[in-house]
Structure 1
Amino acid sequence: MSSRLSFALAGIVIKLFPENSALQFNFIRAAFIMLLVVPVVFFYNRKELDWRAPFKSKNPSLMVIRVVLGTIGLICFYYTFQTMTFAKAITIAAASTFLTPLFAKFFLGETIGVHRMIAISVGYIGVWYALDPIYSGVDIYEIVALINVILTASVQTISKKILIKDKPFVLMFYTAMFSIFMAFCTWSSQAPIKAITGFDAWPTLTLTGFALLLFCMGPFSFMGQYGYLKAFKKVDLSLLMPYDYTNFVFAALFGYFIFNEIPDVNTWVAMGLIILATALLTLYETRGRKS
């Protein structure tokens, strides 16, 4: 849950800097990891005979797939926050919690179980009840959000496989490296990108703005990513998914107090269902461990 809260706080920072692009947010997240976290890890492993040891992956092929999909997914995630209301962005993102257990079942052989499936379903009903999903059409922003949903579910499943042998930091390190590489490619070709798409990939980013984002968004993004990777390493994905619905509760509360987005009746009902699903699953799993 601390991971979900960290992601929500990062979303607040993104909403407060509408003049910047999703590519810049992703670059700043990666820069925080490389500038502040890598030296710390290197320092604590300085007695290693091979200084590259803490950064080596034991599953390089899957790592490449995960890094590419994860980077694209993060950019879509940031773009969704920029173009939608806070609550709606979180709500659509929460749909990945329904896909991830299914992916885990088919690709990792995890057993979902009746109790976990009920908890996931109750939370999913809550999300869609809040959306009241009768749309006149699907716009480009919602398409990007749905792409993020599919990529998030895929990345979470692949991450679980990688984390059997690798540490969370290794995964974050390579994701950050690829993000910086992508940032350089888009920055160096921003003129043709804007000419073809009309999208300003790299608006002016002052040194002050970079520093503010680095120390405001960077830590929250890092804690969010590291927290869920640590959780993935320890337990089944299907157990964790109902807790993802707490994102929606944070979205409703932050949207109201910070962005003056007043939750409607559907939102409050959804929050109740989400809390109920998480509480029931926690109670069931706690009793199961004791027995």
Structure 2
Amino acid sequence: MIRRTAAVLALGMALLTACAHRPPQTVPDLLARVMPTSVLLLGEQHDAPDHQTLQRDVVQALARRGQLGALVMEMAEQGRSTQGLSSDADEARVREALNWTEQTGWAWPVYGPVVMAAVRSGAPVIGGNLPRAQMRSAMGNAALDGHVSASVLQAQRDAIRESHCQLLPESQIAPMARIQVARDQALAQTAAQAVIPGKTVLLVAGNGHVRRDLGVPLHLPSTVGHQVVMAQSRTDTGTGAQPADQVWQTPALPPHDHCAELQQQMKR
């Protein structure tokens, strides 16, 4: 009897462990795993439409619960906000408030539904990215190198080399890593300032910004509770544990030779 009871308990624990590591399949399932939290960091692959759909659905789900405090986005600059706009503001007014133009590089048709879902809920949308006007000074600010550990800084530099297909001159690696650190700091500062007791700030950014080992979480105050969700398509070649609390898997994207495209751009 004792052996049988032990076997049943072991089986139960194994099933619970398997469920804990199985990717969430629905937004309610996802939120059940990460809530409550003061800041929810939701990462994306920028070219994956399913990831922006997830963002909109999470905004709407949090709003229905009365838990959405604010939406902070990498896609708008720090200092820009829809605060003060009514929930029925039209898209033109929202874009103006966020200074969301074609020159920003972020397509409004892609992210507009996410933004407007937050506006309609009455929650402010807040730009969190480092302003373009500050990027040049960040590139030359060697003090930023000391704002993260040596291992994190090296990992940031390696990630820049890899994401640019080893095509960048070595002289550009350190300055671009500083921009990445400065962006992470700006996003963290914006999210922390937007925290409202009892509600959740949703931060939307690329996966490189939200990962626990390199990104925004390193710069959040220790008093700000947070959870990290990374959305990944099944074309992702990463293996092993991910630097996130949950991973949201989406269907594979069509094949795309990013490196060939980047090489052509650099030639031009």
| Larger strand proportion of the pair | 2
**TM bin (shorter chain):** under 0.3
TM-score, normalization: structure 2? 0.28
The higher-RCO structure (CA 8 Å, 6+ apart) is: 1
TM-score, normalization: structure 1? 0.26
| Larger helix proportion of the pair | 1
